Structure 1
Amino acid sequence: MPTNPATESGDRSHAQPPVESVAQISALLLDTDPTLDPELARVARQAAAEGVVLLRNDGVLPLGAERSVAVFGRVQIDWFAVGYGSGGDVKVPYVWNLLAGLRDAGVQVDGEVADHYAAWTAANRPSYEGTWGQWPHHFPEMPLDADVVASAATRADTAVVVIGRAAGEARESVREPGSFYLTDDERTMLDLVTASFARTVVVIDAGNVMDLSWLDGYGERIGAVLYAWQGGMEGARAVAAVLAGEIAPSGKLTDTIALSYEDYPSAPYFGDPDVNVYAEDVFVGYRYFETFAQDRVQFPFGFGLGYAAFDVTVVEATTDAATSDAAPVRVTVEVRNTDATFSGKETVQAYVAAPDGRLGKPARSLAAFAKTRLLAPGESERLTLEFRLADVASYDDSGVTGHRSAFVLEPGDHGVFVGTDVRSASLALTVPIDDLRVVRQVAEAAAAREPFSRMTLARDASGAAVVAWEDVPLAAVDRRERVLAGLPAEIPMTGDRGITLDDVAGGTATLDDFIAQLTAEELSLLARGDVTMHSPLGAPGNAGVLGGVSESLRAKGVPPITTTDGPSGLRLSAYASLLPSGTALASTWNAPLVRELAALHGQEMLQKGSDVLLSPGMNIHRDPLCGRNFEYFSEDPLVTGRFGAAIVQGVQSVGVSACPKHFAANNQETNRTRNDSRVSERALREIYLRGFELCVAEAEPRTIMTSYNKVNGVWSHYHHDLVTTILRDEWGYTGCVITDWWMEDAVDPDFPALEDNAYRVRAQVDVLMPGGVKTADGPQAYADETILQSLARPDGLTIGELQRGARNVLGLALALAPVLGRRTDA
């Protein structure tokens, strides 16, 4: 099958490592097997197809098999299957392109135009710099002769124009032609094609939102627009199936598409290499546009067309939420396919419109969603959408409501709107709240430390919402006092008593009994990985290994635990499946389908030797230029949390583990390891942490990865407030927390005896991955001694803290014991 050049280039530091053991030799013998699970490929194709969003259709789609189609644009062959970096650099045995997919779907593709592009692309292969973060945003377009287009129009009555974009890790999209904007050659192609063809379809193959303002200039000359989020190895074939009518389009946008980049509220505050001020606060994406700028939206959040037409009727809407915080809001809707010809699926969404109150609220916040099964013409299905008003409560980080550091419902009418996108949703129920309610009282954590102004809501004389500004509340908690109050007791050290981790798994000893045997050095080894990527202790090409990284630990039964990227497939020396990007998966609005795909992916992990999948990516699409948006799900935290949970549930259902990332506020790739995300505590809790919170509550991931960036001045891998106060103490998380790969040097400002890894362990970030030291010359293959050195210092790390971290790592090992045991036996 045609191969995507994007899967053949990229980070060459992840080439196959030297063979260092008999086990690796045996494993390498399997690396040449390109066989993939056909069921995994089938479900991946279905997910990619359901993630395609039909933005416009005047009846030109589906193409069918009876009409000849001329396809323009080199990306029909040089298809972008996924973005760049750890989220996409998979050794995949095949990638479909669109030209092959259309032919596979039975579409009559014009041979002359196809041959013209095939010859030109073969002679003009895409150029790659071969350097991390320097991949191309687009491939230069083939110069198009007007005579070629005019001639094609005599043979085919429909044209498909394909435009492709890519971004990736360590590289943003940019506001330039060939990235966020069209190139001159692409405009020429569109001009020539729409001038010659009465029926033109545009397919956008991209991982990020790009500028679509040019569509309005073409008007009716472009009859259909399909946004094809990058769908992995089967993605182009899935797009072809949608174009041909084999699979009904049912995707919905998980981001707002604005009329211009300048319309996005983050635009003035994105891209600074040192500091990102989250001045828009909770007014992210549709929360901003539906409140302040409805007229600046080209395609609203949640929007997507199908070939079928649906009637959505609210059958019943009930709640006791007016008198009880715990009472659910239930809305039952009947969805009927009113089309005479086409089958399809429809997604119903429920939004809450809260009263302004003292905090200022977005006009609408997504509260629930559900998707139908495939409905034949005339068929209907009833869906029930259920949520609690407490789930969309606002966080008071200033005390303006009289309840600082609390989630509150302010008095007034709470409208429940139901529909098929945020803009078309209509009022289904009004829930009056008579008095202010404290839904959940917590403690201040991770609040801003540097002053800045944040967006809030005001009303003009006519009652219209207008942007206002206020000072962000600053941190007031004594961190040193908080940390000291939470230091754990030490388990008395006994020395080696012959207890193994298998004894703990078998119930003949407790985990504390086992931990009591460990020396300070062994505890420090559990707090880091096996120093480098491609550890000889794991499957070839692994991202890193943790757990049993020394002979003494392995002798006590602690197994090596293999981690692998990532969100779109296993990044190993072995062949593996390349799966749809995060945005593509979320655009399905079909969490059960994504859970099914993730379970099959988990089976592939078992086969390939991966224990922990560094996925899902759960950061928010704060700005359309963020290079890793393709890995993430949405501008909305509920969508993010639901799909993150679906992936974790699926992967962990087969015994292996998933690792949501990057915790937290990793919304820019520019200078990502040094950049400071300055964000209010309210925005953190309502937007940037909410998806993680839902994922932890619903799926119980066994591992979580911190982010590279600082959050309000503190690197996430040192952030006690994020990892201990919020994640562990508030949310009750008991799993293992690991760093993103390597970390920055720093001294704890409140405990100068702690630096680097000792500082990290005090924050309850359990494991440095992959374990080595990062220097000015790059990552080094040795570990530092800061943990052991700090034990001897006043105010230094305690044995109890190391034991606490060891418990989290060993808990992961015990959870994986059935999988690791089968692998060892084999």
Structure 2
Amino acid sequence: MSETLLSQKSTTAEAGDRTVDPALADASRALAARGTVLLTNDGTLPLAAGTRTALFGRIQKDWIAVGYGSGGDVNPPYVTNLLDSLRESGSVQVDEQLAARYEAWCAENPADPGEIWGAWPRHYPEMPLEDAAVNEAARRNDVAVVVIGRAAGEDRDAVLEPGSYYLTDEERGLLAQVTEAFERTVVVVDTGNLIDLAWLEEFSVDALVLAWAGGMEAGNAIADVLTGAVEPGGRLTATIARRYEDCPAAPNFGDAAVTNYAEDIFVGYRYFETFAQDAVLFPFGFGLGYTEFDLSPVDLTTSEGTIQLSVRVTNTGGRPGSEVVQAYVEVPGVALSQPARALAAYARTPELAPGESHELRLSVDWADIASYDDAGVTGHRSAFVLEPGTYRFHVGHDVRRTSEAGTAEVLELRVVEQLEEAAAVDPEHGFDRMVVRTGADGRPEVGYEPVPTRTESLRERILSRLPGAVAAPEGEQPSFQDVLDGSVDLETFIGSLTPRELADIAYGDVTMDSPLGAAGNAGAIGGVSAALRARGVIPAITTDGPSGIRIADYASLLPCGTALASAWDPAAVRELSALHGQEMLRKGSDILLGPGMNIHRDPLCGRNFEYFSEDPLVSGLTGAAQVAGIQSQGVAACPKHFACNNQEFERIWVDARVSERALREIYLRGFRIMVRESSPWTIMTSYNKINGVWGHYHYDLVTTILRGEWGFEGLVMTDWWMRMAQDPDFPALRDSAYRVRAGVDVLMPGSIEHSGDTKEDSVYESHRFPDGLTLGEMQRTARHVLTYLAAVHPQGHRMGRGERPED
């Protein structure tokens, strides 16, 4: 690293300070490298010391460090790039003649990231090169490194066009020139989202590196990988198909109004490994390193609650390295259709020297491999069940390169968890979902059957579970400080709150960039009114995330969600996130809006860079690590977007129609694991509808499942602004009254829509309606918010710029 960047590392931060905690920078660099996936390599990598190296492609200089939107719009103090990082490494000889030409051209043709929200460029135009220039570079150098970059993001899905999912003609021409002239060519794809890689079968590429958007230290990290200073530790968290059209969600992605999740549970590798193995270019879990490992299953033991697998891992290559051991299960499909394999557990070894062995022990809970019966075909509708039969386990390097590790028998059907119908498909909006059929040759084939639809009354469920009210205490009104001191219990304080105070707690501070917090914050919750602050209720400041703290001041830009997950190393993610939590304390952030927990349902989703995987176990464990790390510092993470935010186009209107089974086994499971493992203090709902109901009004998701089934005790906030609507089950309620009844505690940033409409009268008075919102429901919301504030006090910190003028 240059002296300039070294001078920008510090453990303290003040407004306008460009310094970064050196431990945080180092951890970011290490995880960006560990998440880098080496897809092909004929021995060209790592580059030997002194290798004469020619860099092609403007992204060598104009490195894309993160995707677009609130999840990446951080003001970093610096961003490293590959050209400068390779120079500073001193490990290889960079072709300075070619580099100077690129630097001059990039200066004359700057990469314009765009200023219009949602209209950012997905790629940057490439510098043209004459054949003669490429041939001359080939004579001067030993190897070529071609860098290709892509970006997408919030409100900006990728599209099936050159410059987005596909290569441009200029990029294809550059690849043709370079691979024709050079004996050895390495391609680095710098991206936050998967792109088409079918061109690998067309051009003579010797090594392909998938460099996920790695934040401010990404250039250094990729230089470390190319030169062998560290191994490329990444493994794919999503399948790479030969053609986009082969992806299971492709026929049902991108509609402005409705998306039927017709592929059901057969998302990603669950589809490909069951029905279409030949359609895969790189399988789920795949990734190469610079050494080789032998995986030998040792034993498999079972108990009433768990399956234990032991695997011996031996480094059989010539370099030190670590391996990710992945365990998959084949679940017998008796009445329920099942994928050929599902990830059951995984772990990364410590670094092993050549010849060294290490024994890993993986634990699988029986409950975590149970299947949800939403149709009653097993005789137990709305239950997680284990069907009778042989459960076959495989361990290996990825979903395909495995060895059988043993079997476990279930002699008769076991009901693991009896639940209740929740968030089911509306009977008027039924569709056919994918199931397994047996073909004439005995092999599984794609079939379809009608999706089960709703049979129960949501209205009756809500009425039967309305919370009771807390009586107002006699005497003087207590202060929230009395609660913090332990002289008054929280219930007494809640009972003392007036309807107006209760309503204030149910809103953020009206707009983004609250004057109660650091400049550029996303908004405030809690003590947002003078009346509440007079009673000791402190405000808490939210900031966008998860790839960094989005404020007006400088803040670290971290590896994107996919990069973190591709490391398959939750312990390392937790360590990085703890350091990030310390930066939150220094920068004035109480709640970081992240991690992103949605599933990579389709490779075109613009926000995939924020999310972790097509697999809910990887998503859940990575998200849990991020939440636990952040919250270990006394600040909060806010996992999002609950649930099914799987496309950005018309995201605030699209209705994600999905079966209960797919919802519980795929789209909610990662959230459930994260809640179980890390107990987040806050969660954010999604913009989209789920089976006809917007996430910010979804009683079944928030109250029935999140709170009732999972035991979540934190506060739930909306994504920023929400759509106005009337409660179909309780016509007297609309907008925030509808939201509060659903169990969504806080409207952020405080107004209903961008129009600036604020706290509507119905919220203050609707508890008086015979069929309206009750006092107990308003107090429930206050309880969730105040419990959070009590948990973080006195770590809460104020960097306000003034008081909000009162209404």
- What TM-score, normalized by structure 1, do the two folds share? 0.94
Contact map agreement 1:496 1:517 (CA 8 A) in 2:
no
Rounded to whole Å, the distance in 1 between the matches of 2:499 and 2:736 is 14
Q: CA deviation at 1:823?
A: 7.8
Match of 1:16 in 2: none
SS of 1:92's partner is: coil
Deviations 1:392-429 (A, max 9, x none): 11100000110000001111111011001001122111
Match of 1:587 in 2: 566
Q: Say yes or no: does 1:402 pair with 2:373.
A: no
Match of 1:228 in 2: 211
SS of 1:331's partner is: strand
- Counterpart pick for 1:637 among 612, 616, 633: 616
Bigger shift: 310-319 or 589-598? 310-319
Contact map agreement 2:63 2:149 (CA 8 A) in 1:
yes
Match of 2:402 in 1: 425
Deviations 1:434-467 (A, max 9, x none): 2111111001000001110000001112210000
Contact map agreement 1:742 1:779 (CA 8 A) in 2:
no
Rounded to whole Å, the distance in 2 between the matches of 1:337 and 1:101 is 30
Rounded to whole Å, the distance in 2 between the matches of 1:803 and 1:351 is 46
Q: CA deviation at 1:126?
A: 2.1
Rounded to whole Å, the distance in 2 between the matches of 1:122 and 1:484 is 65
SS of 1:536's partner is: coil
Contact map agreement 1:497 1:517 (CA 8 A) in 2:
no
Q: CA deviation at 1:821?
A: 6.4
Match of 1:667 in 2: 646
Q: Say yes or no: does 1:204 pair with 2:189.
A: yes
Q: Say yes or no: does 1:820 pair with 2:799.
A: no
Spell out the pairing of 1:607-618 with structure 2 (5 A cutoff): 607-618=586-597
Match of 1:292 in 2: 275
Contact map agreement 1:622 1:667 (CA 8 A) in 2:
yes
Q: Say yes or no: does 1:411 pair with 2:388.
A: yes
Bigger shift: 427-436 or 76-85? 427-436
Q: Say yes or no: does 1:691 pair with 2:676.
A: no
SS of 1:494's partner is: coil
Spell out the pairing of 1:170-319 with structure 2 (5 A cutoff): 170-218=155-203, 221-319=204-302
Q: Say yes or no: does 1:151 pair with 2:139.
A: no
Match of 1:556 in 2: 535
**Aligned residue pairs, count:** 787
Spell out the pairing of 1:31-42 with structure 2 (5 A cutoff): 31-42=15-26
Q: Say yes or no: does 1:743 pair with 2:722.
A: yes
Q: CA deviation at 1:807?
A: 0.1
Match of 1:97 in 2: 81
- Counterpart pick for 1:625 among 591, 604, 610: 604
Rounded to whole Å, the distance in 1 between the matches of 2:755 and 2:625 is 34
Q: CA deviation at 1:781?
A: 6.3
Rounded to whole Å, the distance in 1 between the matches of 2:256 and 2:223 is 40
Contact map agreement 2:472 2:492 (CA 8 A) in 1:
no
Spell out the pairing of 1:745-764 with structure 2 (5 A cutoff): 745-764=724-743
Contact map agreement 1:355 1:411 (CA 8 A) in 2:
yes
SS of 1:351's partner is: strand
Rounded to whole Å, the distance in 2 between the matches of 1:495 and 1:543 is 38
RMSD, aligned α-carbons: 1.3
Rounded to whole Å, the distance in 1 between the matches of 2:528 and 2:202 is 60
Rounded to whole Å, the distance in 2 between the matches of 1:497 and 1:33 is 46
Deviations 1:717-769 (A, max 9, x none): 00000000000000011100000000000000010110000000001100000
Counterparts in 2 of 1:367 and 1:567: CA distance versus 1, 3 Å? same
- Counterpart pick for 1:57 among 36, 41, 46: 41
Q: CA deviation at 1:125?
A: 1.0
Match of 2:364 in 1: 387
Contact map agreement 1:676 1:709 (CA 8 A) in 2:
yes
Q: CA deviation at 1:507?
A: 1.7
Contact map agreement 1:153 1:196 (CA 8 A) in 2:
yes
Q: Say yes or no: does 1:438 pair with 2:415.
A: yes
AA at the equivalent of 2:32: A
Rounded to whole Å, the distance in 2 between the matches of 1:347 and 1:149 is 39
- What TM-score, normalized by structure 2, do the two folds share? 0.96
Rounded to whole Å, the distance in 2 between the matches of 1:368 and 1:711 is 29
AA at the equivalent of 2:138: A
Contact map agreement 1:772 1:784 (CA 8 A) in 2:
no
Counterparts in 2 of 1:257 and 1:563: CA distance versus 1, 3 Å? same
Rounded to whole Å, the distance in 2 between the matches of 1:721 and 1:782 is 26
Deviations 1:105-153 (A, max 9, x none): 2221111110111011110012344210000000011112111110001
Gaps of 5+ in 1: 3-28
- Counterpart pick for 2:449 among 433, 458, 470: 470
SS of 2:19's partner is: coil
Bigger shift: 280-289 or 353-362? 353-362
Gaps of 5+ in 2: 3-12, 801-807
Rounded to whole Å, the distance in 2 between the matches of 1:182 and 1:330 is 45
Rounded to whole Å, the distance in 1 between the matches of 2:731 and 2:526 is 28
Contact map agreement 1:396 1:407 (CA 8 A) in 2:
yes
AA at the equivalent of 1:805: T
Q: Say yes or no: does 1:339 pair with 2:323.
A: no
Contact map agreement 1:637 1:687 (CA 8 A) in 2:
yes
Q: CA deviation at 1:496?
A: 7.1
Match of 1:18 in 2: none
AA at the equivalent of 2:105: W
Spell out the pairing of 1:439-458 with structure 2 (5 A cutoff): 439-449=416-426, 450-458=429-437
